[in-house]
């Protein structure tokens, strides 16, 4: 790490740090934060000519205290016209976000699309943003290490910056802290940061937040992340050879969709993944034996995440290979038949009410005997993006004194993280996120683009186009 000064127009920026282990593009992103000049417009004079994005700092021989010259024009600051119509560009930036209908994109800092797409999907969860806003230095749990604390703060600050901006944001601070916490994301190849697996990034971020966002002083040590994303699985483990049987309960942050020749749809892949074989010691037989493990969902999360198991290790080439097979997934997912018997009983009344409401929308007459409650006693809550198609909530807002919303087992798709390419450690990742207004936005790094619903269903695979790798559903709930 060396420190230089940078002369730009009439301004002189002193003590600008250069991390010589990173490509010059990262330095340009820092200057973008200082000057507003996008990296592609920057012309920085160094020995031998202009500074290139992928140049080698050691060969350039830049020394501490050296003065660098930069040329380039910053993005124009929009001025309010003296008279006439007020355009979107003339509004304060926070108002521009609301007018545009989506928040900002994220600059790619050098093969960081895996991180950008993960962050855009997680940023779409308002309850997670609320938990992060409540997180403060004073509220830090003593059990949380400093690097986890810093990553949580960086996530909070980046989400806040995205909410206030329509121009692309450079996630520099977050990226630096992420690499410090998880060094595998800082791997270099020929001086350039390597592409990483988005699923690993997603998992590590959620794990860190789950540690930080626990309520201090709580007897149950409430975990906000577990409440939002945690799926409780109840498993029966038995051995046909010895008739031994046991059960266990575990909590996971995502379900897996296994892909094989028999799997054409998400639901089939989920069923396959909930059954597995394992080998372990048998007390009855005095040796190891094969056990069958059958799992059922015993508690549902507010946001259900599913990973398509598309990558496997190919020994011949010694690298991760990708399964390109097409696996369809629905905009509306019902997981009732994947649930335990105990959970199914809890879901019956909310599901009956949900069916009655859907029937009313279609003009069907509801049998009062089958209805769980009178309409005045029961209302739907927070079913954004439900099958009404328009994207507007088909629900009444929760009022003070109302009971906790009840799960129905029905979920609506709100985010898709896709991968394009043949290997997890190469190719390109993109986030596709449903906005509060029901519109879909493709977040391809710093270039958000509006998309239609049909674009989302075409991401199921079967070729070299972007295909779903991680998908996220939001629970459709009712208040009884």
From the candidates 102, 113, 339, 419, give the one annotated as an active-site residue.
113
3-state helix/strand/coil string of the chain: CEEEEEEECCEEEEEEEECCCCCHHHHHHHHHHHHCCCHHHCEEEECCEECCCCCCHHHHCCCCCCEEEEECCCCCCCCCCCCCCCCHHHCCHHHHHHHHCCCCCECCCCCCHHHHHHHHHHHCCHHHHHHHHHCCCCCCCCCCCHHHHHHHHHHHHHHHHHHCCCCCECCHHHHHHHHHHCHHHHCEECCEECCCCHHHHHHHHHHHHHHHCECCCCCCCCEHHHHHHCEEEEEEEECCCCCCEEEEEEEECCEEECCCCCCCEHHHHHHHHCEEEEEEEECCCCEEEEEEEEEEEEECCCEEEEEECCEEEECCCCEEEECCCCCECCCEEECHHHECHHHHHHHHHHHHHHHHHHHHHCCCCCCCCCCCCCHHHCEEECCCCCCCCCCCCCCCCCCCCCCCCEEEEEEEEEEEEEEECCCCCCCEEEEEEECCCCCEEEEECCEEEEECHHHHHCCCCCCCCCEEEEEEEEEEEEEC
The Cα–Cα gap between 175 and 109 comes to 9
Buried b (16+ CB within 10 A) or exposed e, 376-397: eebbbbbbbbbeeeebebbbee
For residue 460, how far is the Cα from the chain centroid?
18
CA distances from residue 162 to 26, 179, 292 in whole angstroms, order as listed: 19, 21, 46
Active site residue 428: yes
From the candidates 239, 265, 272, 428, give the one annotated as an active-site residue.
428
Which tokens go with 121? 């999907």
Active site residue 149: no
* Crossing angle of helices 113-123 and 146-163, rounded to 10°: 70
Catalytic residues: 113, 428
């Amino acid at each position: 790490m060396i420190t230089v000064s940078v002369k730009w127009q009439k301004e002189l920026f002193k003590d600008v740090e250069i991390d010589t282990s990173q490509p010059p593009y990262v330095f340009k992103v820092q200057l973008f934060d200082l000057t507003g000049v996008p990296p592609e417009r920057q012309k920085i004079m160094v020995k031998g000519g202009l500074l290139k994005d992928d140049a080698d700092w050691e060969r350039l021989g830049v020394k501490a205290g050296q003065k660098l010259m930069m040329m380039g024009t910053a993005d124009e600051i929009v001025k309010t016209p003296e008279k006439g119509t007020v355009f979107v560009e003339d509004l304060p930036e926070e108002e521009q976000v609301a007018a545009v209908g989506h928040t900002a994109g994220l600059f790619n800092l050098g093969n960081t699309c895996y991180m950008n797409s993960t962050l855009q999907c997680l940023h779409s969860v308002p309850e997670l943003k609320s938990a992060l806003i409540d997180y403060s230095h004073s509220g830090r749990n003593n059990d949380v290490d400093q690097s986890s604390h810093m990553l949580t703060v960086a996530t909070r600050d980046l989400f806040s910056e995205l909410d206030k901006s329509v121009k692309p944001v450079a996630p520099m601070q977050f990226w630096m802290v992420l690499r410090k916490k998880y060094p595998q994301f800082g791997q270099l190849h020929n001086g350039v940061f390597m592409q990483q697996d988005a699923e690993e990034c997603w998992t590590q971020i959620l794990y860190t937040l789950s540690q930080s966002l626990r309520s201090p002083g709580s007897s149950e040590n409430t975990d906000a992340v577990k409440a939002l994303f945690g799926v409780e699985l109840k498993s029966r483990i038995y051995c046909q050879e010895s008739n031994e049987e046991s059960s266990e309960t575990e909590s996971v942050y995502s379900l897996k969709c296994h892909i094989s020749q028999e799997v054409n749809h998400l639901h089939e892949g989920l069923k396959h993944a909930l059954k597995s074989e394992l080998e372990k010691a048998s007390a009855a037989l005095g040796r190891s034996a094969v056990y069958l493990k059958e799992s059922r969902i015993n508690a549902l999360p507010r946001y259900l995440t599913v990973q398509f198991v598309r990558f496997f290790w190919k020994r011949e080439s010694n690298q991760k290979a990708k399964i390109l097979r097409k696996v369809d997934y629905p905009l509306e997912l019902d997981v009732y038949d994947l649930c335990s018997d105990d959970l199914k009983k809890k879901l019956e009344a909310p599901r009956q009410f949900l069916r009655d409401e859907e029937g009313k929308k279609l003009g069907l007459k509801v049998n009062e005997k089958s209805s769980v409650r009178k309409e005045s006693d029961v209302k739907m809550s927070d079913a954004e993006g439900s099958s009404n198609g328009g994207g507007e909530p088909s629900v009444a807002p929760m009022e003070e004194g109302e009971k906790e919303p009840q799960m129905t087992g029905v979920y609506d798709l709100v985010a898709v993280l896709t991968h394009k390419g043949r290997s997890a450690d190469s190719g390109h990742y993109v986030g596709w996120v449903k906005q509060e207004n029901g519109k879909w936005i493709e977040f391809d790094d710093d270039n958000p683009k509006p998309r239609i619903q049909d674009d989302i269903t075409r991401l199921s695979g079967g070729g070299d186009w972007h295909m779903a790798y991680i998908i996220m559903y939001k629970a459709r709930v009712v208040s009884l």
